[in-house]
């Protein structure tokens, strides 16, 4: 029986539940980190202290670093799952340009979301600051080097801008699949699917 526009078929089986959970958890953390990072980058330490006081400012920095490291851990886990489990196939092939755009987008997220916390870690260490992860201080990995720290923080910010662009493109494509093309692609990453 044919598929109607009002009730599109799921285009392929969904990702494994653990993959879907990681996708949405990482997405939530990253959006909050990008917002907080924009405030930190715009105001700087002194500006934050003037606005919120030193206790809140130090908490913001510690929290930002902690959840940045958390993203790194979760992304390594997600990459391992992707390599071990793979991605589910489609019942109906997407147009070639959509498949290419999808692959670039997905692998772009892996590269940027692993690179960004690593660069932040190195930038922090090169600046002579502690690399906080909850109540632990992680090894700095490199020696203090203020000039290198400045360059790495600039790279960290650039990666953040690239991530914002990629997130907007990804969200736009998701909305097109869901609301315009209605091809069931969105159901592959939904937390609750008909096949769970």
pLDDT tens-digit map of 30-82: 999 999 999 999 999 999 999 999 999 999 999 999 999 999 999 999 999 99
Number of domains in the chain: 1
Question: At 145, is the secondary structure helix, strand, or coil?
Answer: coil
Tokens of 70: 């958390």
User: Which residues form the domain of 42?
Assistant: 17-188
**Is the residue at 71 inside a domain?**
yes
Q: Is 16 helix (H, G, I), strand (E, B) or coil?
A: coil
Residue closest to 117 by CA, chosen among 79, 75, 151: 75
Cβ burial 122-135 (10 Å sphere, 16+ → b, else e): bbbbbbeeebbbee
Report the CATH number that the domain containing residue 145 is assigned in CATH. 1.20.950
The pTM of this model reads: 0.89
- CB atoms < 10 A from the CB of 187, how many? 20
Query: Has residue 31 been placed in a domain?
Result: yes
Is 195 among the domain residues?
Answer: no
Identify the pLDDT of residue 147. Answer: 98
Q: What is the mean pLDDT of residues 109-137?
A: 97
Structural domain contains residue 56: yes
Enclosing H/E stretch for 19? helix 17-52
Work out the mean pLDDT of the chain and round it to a whole number.
Answer: 90
What is the C-alpha to C-alpha distance for residues 76 and 110, in angstroms, rounded to an integer?
9
Q: Which two tokens stand for residue 99?
A: 């498949």
CA dihedral 180, 181, 187, 188 (to 10 degrees): -130
Whole-angstrom Cα distance, residue 45 to residue 57? 7
Query: Has residue 156 been placed in a domain?
Result: yes
Domain membership of residue 28 (yes or no) is yes
Going by pLDDT thresholds of 50, 70 and 90, the confidence category of residue 191 is confident
Candidates 4, 1, 23, 33; CA nearest to 116 is: 33
> Smallest Cα–Cα separation from 120: which of 85, 71, 172, 189?
71
Is residue 11, in this structure, part of any structural domain at all? no
């Amino acid at each position: 029986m044919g598929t109607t526009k009002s009730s599109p078929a799921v285009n392929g089986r969904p990702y494994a539940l653990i993959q879907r959970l990681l996708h949405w958890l990482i997405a939530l953390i990253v959006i909050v980190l990008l917002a907080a990072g924009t405030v930190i980058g715009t105001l700087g330490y002194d500006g934050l202290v003037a606005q919120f006081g030193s206790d809140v400012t130090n908490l913001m920095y510690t929290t930002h670093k902690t959840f940045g490291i958390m993203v790194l851990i979760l992304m390594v886990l997600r990459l391992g799952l992707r390599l071990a489990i793979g991605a589910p196939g489609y019942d109906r092939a997407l147009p070639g340009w959509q498949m290419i755009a999808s692959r670039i987008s997905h692998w772009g997220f892996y590269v940027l979301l692993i690179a960004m916390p690593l660069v932040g870690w190195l930038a922090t260490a090169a600046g002579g600051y502690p690399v906080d992860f909850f109540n632990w201080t992680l090894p700095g990995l490199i020696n203090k080097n203020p000039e290198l720290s400045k360059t790495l923080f600039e790279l960290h910010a650039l990666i953040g801008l690239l991530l914002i662009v990629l997130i907007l493109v990804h969200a736009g494509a998701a909305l097109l699949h869901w609301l315009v093309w209605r091809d069931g692609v969105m159901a592959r990453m939904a937390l609750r699917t008909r096949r769970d």
